[in-house]
Amino acid sequence: MSPAFHAAARALLADPLTNKGTAFTNEERETFGLHGLLPPHVGTLDSQIERRMRALEGMKDDFHRYAFLRELQDSNEVLFQALVQRDLPRMLPLVYTPTVGEGCERFSEIWRRPRGLFLSYPNRDRIADILADPALDRVKVIVVSDGERILGLGDQGAGGMGIPIGKLALYTACAGIHPAEVLPILIDVGTDNAARREDPLYVGWRNPRIRGAEYDAFMESFVAAVADRFPGVLLQWEDFAGKNAYDLLERYRGRLLSFNDDIQGTAATAVGTLLSAIRRTGTPLTEQRVVLFGAGAAGSGVAELLVRAMMADGLAEAEARARIWAVDRDGLVLSDIPRLPPQQQALAHDPADIVDWTRTGANAIGLLDTVANVRPTVLIGASGQMGAFGEGVIRAMAAGVAQPVIFPLSNPISRAEAHPADLLAWTDGRAIVGTGSPFGVAGVTQVNNVYIFPGVGLGALASGAREVTDGMFMAAARALGALGGEGATLLPPITRLREVALHIAVAVARQALVEGVATVDPETLTREAIAAGMWEATYP
């Protein structure tokens, strides 16, 4: 055999999109020159899954399981996806939250093989050349982060690449997007995390973050290059810090088919779960009183979608906003606070609204005073402040409502506003609880964005949408809320995520048609047609 033939055989095994490992048949081994490169046993996908399951079970902790699965993904995409889809409840916490948080913190420690693209500031004039790689010709979905606000862990720099990789693994597992059609990208403009920069293993650009006009120019070059290289691509903005998150979304949502999962995906997931919860309580959405703790990108996004939902159910905008109270790092968000971010200005209450409040101190009005005076029916946490929902806050809330709805949504577990077992204890079991991460507490719902973003992306692509509109996210939220859960939970079990993604995709695609942003024949947007295009993890 020629050297080129041998090289081609090794390349087949080295490419995760073509490697089948021991599942190559004897005929394939003969054809591709694989004899000797593989052990003689001819396996099946099922036997390969069993082998990896045993390996996972023998590992000492979830971080090592995460690293193992990342390496498997880099060697055999079909096997990785088949393993994930075989046991989503077990695998979801390993490939994404909560374990991905530690994966990002220790990303440089476990980096082995290239996956996705690192677009660093020193290479700002090479973006188009980097994207020109023919291996990227099939890309339909991009998830991009600059690593500045990774979950509740802050600036992780290049380590933030763990988030796009994890999100896209779920696009494939849940929405059936082919692994060759997804592209994780990390915008590396430096990091202000000194511990990362000083780590000798750090794989990113060792420089403080570029900001201001230089950052904006770099992002403009990136978006222009993506739009030119991948017409019609769906781009998901992920884990950008507050102001950048809003600025990038507003600047580019009309130029690229794009959305911000932290702002819009979190909002749709939270509102959809809340709609399911209030069916349990029997109190209409228009009569809910909501306190949001954390008014950054996620919290503000939840508030705005709630306002739209209440208005759709009959309230005037002012009436809807009067029912939502936001508490941030400086206390209750009031209109006389100087230099409020734009997204908080819309949430701010007039100081005249609180003149009759009972207060426990003379300083800024905190969460406890807000809960005691508003007597909320719903409490949502998006602060990243562990333990912020203390016993006093929860008991004050429970004193005023029969079935308090409490969603500590911050990720990972180390940043959750409360442990759900405590919430149930402090409310005598009356609370309806949803958490951002899985806690393993019976009757508690995991309010994870994975219920929304794969379906939104699939529906936007299937409809050929020119834009991901706010109405499409409202349609996604209502579709999710209509699904309900099983037993005490508010959402379908993790085992049904693929079905959920299809359900959401159909609702989103139909909304795109209603709003006139779809570009495909409406007859192609049936549930059956969309389902037929979803990739299955099987060997060719």
Catalytic residues: 96, 167
Residue owning tokens 């003689």: 40
Taking alpha carbons only, the member of 199, 255, 251 closest to residue 232 is: 255
CA dihedral over 525, 531, 536, 540, signed as positive or negative:
negative
Residue 373 is assigned to a ligand binding site: no
**DSSP structural state of residue 126:** -
**DSSP structural state of residue 464:** T
Residue 262 is assigned to a ligand binding site: yes
- CA-to-CA distance for 432 and 321, rounded, in angstroms? 23
Annotate 143-201 with DSSP letters as a single string: EEE-SSS-TTS---GGGGGHHHHHHHHHHHHHH---GGGEEEEEEE---S-HHHHH-TT
- For helices 470-483 and 297-312, what crossing angle results, to 10°? 80
Residue 239 is assigned to a ligand binding site: yes
**What's at 206, amino acid-wise?**
R
Task: List C-alpha distances in Å: 516 to 94, 382, 472, 505, 507.
Answer: 39, 33, 11, 16, 14
Q: Phi, psi (5° rounding) for residue 316? A: -70, 160
- CA-to-CA distance for 71 and 90, rounded, in angstroms? 18
Residue owning tokens 């705005």: 304
Q: Phi, psi (5° rounding) for residue 51? A: -60, -45
Residue 76 is assigned to a ligand binding site: no
Torsion of CA 470, 456, 533, 465, to 10 degrees: 20
Residue 449 is assigned to a ligand binding site: no
Annotated binding site for a divalent metal cation: 238-239, 262
Residue numbers belonging to the annotated binding site for (S)-malate: 149, 411, 448
